[in-house]
Amino acid sequence: MIRIIPDVLDADGVARLRAILDAASWIDGNETSGPQAALAKRNEQLPEFSDAAAEAGRLVLDALGRTPLFIAAALPLKIYPPYFNRYAGGGTFGDHIDNAVRQRRGTDFRLRSDLSATLFLSEPDSYEGGGLVVEGMAEAPGIKLPAGHMVLYPATTVHRVEPVTSGTRIASFFWIQSMVRDQGQRNLLFDLDMGVQGAAMGLGQGDPTVVRLTGVYHNLLRRWADS
């Protein structure tokens, strides 16, 4: 299941983040690639441990914490420190699947990658190509979202970034370990959460039906959560 999370960053947030990225030095994206990914990947990346990556990453993580739809969809336990990439001049990332476990080099931080995320930082009309294609999902023929919008998709899927034939595509990408490992269970909890919120708007937060449905949500989360 693919989830579109709109307005993770507003226009001011995008501008602030882009100011950091546009002033930074970029390196070959294969700096962090494994041998298989290196065969398919042609882009640039912000150095993982640079000051610019740290500052930009904090902005992204702060924005995610203020985005209820992301929290409802991902139920995050851990978020990998965000990376930033840039595609231009035919840059592409062919079919690949993300590593099951991501470990931050030189640290003891690691997570199980349940979900992959791409936060778009270039307007879709500023570049040609560059669509994110998630195989096996009819709703994802080639995702290009407005700057500040994000897409969440299962890290278990084969996916690719189509060649960018003109302009420049800039994005942040990262992985999430969810409190709920099973995708089907996460989907049920998300649908129930949205239903509870809709019922609360119509009936009021204190309505007995809303209270009972809220209890069902939390008891299912308690049963399925890793922590």
Q: Looking at the structure, do residues 75 and 165 belong to the same domain, yes or no? A: yes
Q: Looking at the structure, do residues 165 and 200 belong to the same domain, yes or no? A: no
2-26 pLDDT per residue, tens:
999 999 999 999 999 999 999 999 9
The β-bridge relationship of strands 101-103 and 127-129 is: unpaired
Q: What is the pLDDT of residue 34?
A: 59
One-letter amino acid identity for 141? P
Distances (CA, A) of 27 to 46, 49, 68, 95, 206: 6, 12, 34, 22, 54
Q: What is the pLDDT of residue 139?
A: 60
Question: Averaged over 121-147, what is the pLDDT?
Answer: 90
Q: What is the mean pLDDT of the chain?
A: 94
One-letter amino acid identity for 166? S
**In terms of C-beta density within 10 A (0-12 exposed, 13-18 middle, 19 or more buried), how is residue 117 classed?**
buried
Nearest to 179 by CA among 41, 65, 74, 61: 74
The structure tokens listed for 71 are 């929290």
Q: Tokens 């912000």 identify what position? A: 46
Task: Give the number of residues written for the chain.
Answer: 227
The residues, ordered by sequence, that sit 6+ positions from 28 with a Cβ below 8 Å of its Cβ are: 44, 45
pLDDT over 70 for what percent of the chain?
94
DSSP annotation of 25 reads -
Domain that holds residue 201: 183-224
Q: Looking at the structure, do residues 93 and 188 belong to the same domain, yes or no? A: no
Q: Looking at the structure, do residues 49 and 110 belong to the same domain, yes or no? A: yes
116-127 pLDDT per residue, tens:
999 999 999 999
Q: Looking at the structure, do residues 162 and 202 belong to the same domain, yes or no? A: no
Q: Looking at the structure, do residues 88 and 170 belong to the same domain, yes or no? A: yes
Question: Averaged over 109-134, what is the pLDDT?
Answer: 97
- Count up the domains in the chain and report the number: 2
Whether 41 has a pLDDT exceeding 80, the answer reads yes
Q: How far apart are CA 73 and CA 191, in angstroms?
A: 9
Question: Averaged over 189-205, what is the pLDDT?
Answer: 96
Alpha helix locations (H) across the chain? Answer: 11-22, 35-40, 51-65, 68-74, 183-203, 208-224
| Residue 138, helix vs strand vs coil | coil
* Domain containing residue 206: CATH number: 4.10.860
Q: Looking at the structure, do residues 104 and 191 belong to the same domain, yes or no? A: no
Q: Looking at the structure, do residues 153 and 209 belong to the same domain, yes or no? A: no
Q: Looking at the structure, do residues 109 and 206 belong to the same domain, yes or no? A: no
Question: Averaged over 170-190, what is the pLDDT?
Answer: 97
Q: Looking at the structure, do residues 95 and 173 belong to the same domain, yes or no? A: yes
Residues 180, 226 contacting (CB under 8 angstroms): yes
* Domain containing residue 100: CATH number: 2.60.120.620
Q: How far apart are CA 94 and CA 138, in angstroms?
A: 18
Q: Looking at the structure, do residues 40 and 148 belong to the same domain, yes or no? A: yes
Q: How far apart are CA 32 and CA 30, in angstroms?
A: 5
For residue 39, the Cα-to-chain-centroid distance in whole angstroms is 23
Q: Looking at the structure, do residues 99 and 189 belong to the same domain, yes or no? A: no
Q: How far apart are CA 131 and CA 213, in angstroms?
A: 39
